Amino acid sequence: MATQFMDVRETAEYLNMSVAWVYREAQGLGLTPYKFGRGRNAKIQFRVSEVQAWVKQQKLG
């Protein structure tokens, strides 16, 4: 089974951006974060297919 989610670090690497950028800008630009867990142990992740679709939408021309 293929990985369905990427954590913030993996998402940042995939997008060639910083982790801080992902936390600060991603949701406002249309990337939907998913929260797994509660409190200090909560993990923010992004669905791989949604990140890939978002990247395709950014294509110029």
Give residue 61's pLDDT: 75
Give the predicted TM-score (pTM) of the model: 0.86
The total number of structural domains in the chain stands at 1
pLDDT single digits (tens) 2-52: 679 999 999 999 999 999 999 999 999 999 999 999 999 999 999 999 999
Give residue 2's pLDDT: 61
Q: How many CB atoms neighbour CB 15 within 10 A?
A: 18
Give residue 60's pLDDT: 85
* More confident of the two residues 59 and 9: 9
Helix (H) or strand (E) holding 50: helix 48-57
Give residue 41's pLDDT: 92
By residue range, what is the domain housing residue 9? 5-57
